[in-house]
Amino acid sequence: MIAAFSTAQQCGAAERLPAIARTIVALAHGMGLGVIAEGVETVEQKDFLARNGCHDYQGYLFSRPLPLEGFEQFLRLKES
């Protein structure tokens, strides 16, 4: 399950985002699914998600969008 937290922010739901995030993570775990948080841009967002059981993320905190070749290079650098 991918939780698009940036979409909630864009819809004016930012003040409800913590409750939305906790609910999505709990729902996914209750269904035996993992969660990937999309749109993570700050360390504070990542830490909040980790405290609430989400440990997989993507977003500008880690990298801007990359073409395939750039992504492969990014992975090689991370592995070394």
Contact 45, 9 (CB under 8 A): no
Per-residue pLDDT tens digits of the chain, which is 80 residues long? 555 555 555 555 667 788 888 898 999 999 999 889 888 988 988 999 999 999 999 999 999 999 999 999 999 998 88
Nearest-angstrom CA–CA distance, 10 and 69: 30
Catalytic residue among 38, 41, 69, 79, which?
38
15 an active-site residue?
no
Nearest-angstrom CA–CA distance, 2 and 63: 18
pTM, rounded to two decimals:
0.73
Nearest-angstrom CA–CA distance, 73 and 80: 11
Per-residue model confidence (pLDDT) at position 69: 95
